Amino acid sequence: MIRNTKVKAMTGGYAMAEALRQVHPDVMAVYPITPQTPIIETYARMKAGGEVTTEIVQAESEHSAMSATVGASASGARAVTATSSQGLLYMTEILPIASGLRLPIVMCVSSRSLSAPLNIHGEHGDVMVARNLGWVQIFSQNVQEAYDNVIISTKLAETMDIPVMPIMDGFHVSHTTERIEVCTDREVRRFIGTRSAKKTLLNLSDPVTFGPVALQNSYFEFKIDQEKEFENVKKEYKKICAEYEKISGRKYGMFESYRLNDAKYAIVMMGATVGTAKEAIDLLRAKGEKVGLLNMRLYRPFPYEEVGEELAHIRKIAVLDRVMSFGAYPPLYQDVVSSMQHAASRKYEIASYIYGLGGRDTTQSHIKKVFKDLEEGEISEKIKYSK
């Protein structure tokens, strides 16, 4: 089959805006913050140039941006937003409301560190705060994935009535230019279709009360039902990725295993630094070292069982988190440790590393050092900083 794709050079921010242009939401409610701003500026230019007809709400804060997105989505509109860092935390109050109301909002995140001290650069501090609020989280390792994930997220959100965050690392992806393949508008629009909401505020003949009070006798059941549906995201995500492969030629899954089959030592990580890690692994492999990588894409809901099975044959694992986690093991590490309960064999050792905070570069030598630690058995319960 000949694919109708075009190769174009663009940054991650532009790529997400380009995907949004193709998705063509009814409403976008936004507020500027680095390194997200290129997405909404690009989109605003597209509107000024007549390429899109989206109603853009230039909110006076992220709290209101997310609130307006909720109002629009509850009205049956396809509604999107975008943010980073403090902006995402400013929205946090409304995030569980969006998921609790089962609104298929897509929020593009250019992930960034948290103040104080102030730092505008890439890491996962912001999105990790929001990891257990009922939003799907999908990480992107490069510009291509940032583009693809916006399209996949839209389809997933509207199929499941669950909000989705496609995430790219601030600057490392959002401001880096790469050549990517772009699908045609027609294909994207056919793939995602139009939103058909079951219940909306605009259906005047069937008035609905969104966001009631639920007391001790019903709140618990609401939350259990929500979690049940959330678990179904995994199945649907796989299905949507398979459909997307047909129009894009790119294969995605809940995670990517890189040279993992016969590996003895493995790193688990996600986001922009995966590319660097793969290069380091290639070099080590050339020297005969049995090293590999598990790159997480679908971070929430976390595929515990599948990750456990995938890592079952690995004896020594390092989990690299791009977030500080005060007084506790970092989140991805905790998730991988939980996954290993599902591993057939339990004879493994697992180490925790924190890397790349506040935009700090993580180079091949950092990755090589991690593998050296694993090979030489320098594994302890202590969290190490890969600075």
Partner 1 sequence: MNKILTDKLAPGHATCAGCGIPAIVRTVLGAMDEPVIVSNATGCLEVTTTIYPNTSWKVPYIHSAFGNAAATAAGIDAAQKALEKRGKLKKKAKIVAFGGDGGTYDIGLQALSGALERGHDFLYVCYDNEGYMNTGGQRSGATPYGADTETEPAGDLAFGKTRQRKDLMEIVKAHGISYLAEANVAYLQDLKKKAKKALGTSGPSFLLVLQPCTNLWKFPTSQYVNVGKLATETNFWPLYEIENGNYVINYVPRERKPIEEFLKTQGRFKHLFAEKNKKIIAAIQRTVDDNWKKLQKKVSDI
- Per CB under 8 A, residues contacting partner 1 are 26-27, 29, 53-55, 57-61, 63-65, 67-77, 79, 93-94, 97, 101, 200-204, 207-215, 218
Picking from 101, 52, 61, 51, the residue whose alpha carbon sits closest to that of residue 83 is 61
* Phi, psi of 135, rounded to the nearest 5 degrees: -100, 140
Asked if residue 355 lies in contact with residue 383, where contact means CB atoms within 8 angstroms, the answer is no
For partner 1, the closer of residues 107 and 319 by Cβ is 107
Picking from 112, 151, 118, 99, the residue whose alpha carbon sits closest to that of residue 301 is 99
Measured CA to CA, the distance from residue 386 to residue 179 in angstroms comes to 30
For partner 1, the closer of residues 212 and 327 by Cβ is 212
**Minimum distance between the CB of residue 55 and partner 1, rounded to whole angstroms?**
4
For partner 1, the closer of residues 29 and 272 by Cβ is 29
**Minimum distance between the CB of residue 201 and partner 1, rounded to whole angstroms?**
4
**Minimum distance between the CB of residue 306 and partner 1, rounded to whole angstroms?**
35
Helices 12-23 & 185-192, crossing angle to 10 degrees? 60
**Minimum distance between the CB of residue 191 and partner 1, rounded to whole angstroms?**
19
**Minimum distance between the CB of residue 118 and partner 1, rounded to whole angstroms?**
22
Asked if residue 332 lies in contact with residue 319, where contact means CB atoms within 8 angstroms, the answer is yes
**Minimum distance between the CB of residue 178 and partner 1, rounded to whole angstroms?**
32
Asked if residue 316 lies in contact with residue 289, where contact means CB atoms within 8 angstroms, the answer is no
For partner 1, the closer of residues 209 and 261 by Cβ is 209
For partner 1, the closer of residues 97 and 379 by Cβ is 97
**Minimum distance between the CB of residue 113 and partner 1, rounded to whole angstroms?**
25
Q: Which residue has the tokens 């924190």?
A: 354
For partner 1, the closer of residues 91 and 323 by Cβ is 91
Determine if residue 171 is left, alpha or beta; phi over 0 gives left, psi from -120 to 50 gives alpha, anything else beta: left
Q: Tokens representing 373?
A: 């630690």
For partner 1, the closer of residues 72 and 188 by Cβ is 72
Sign of CA dihedral 137, 141, 145, 146: positive
Beta strands at 291-296 and 255-258: parallel, antiparallel or unpaired:
antiparallel
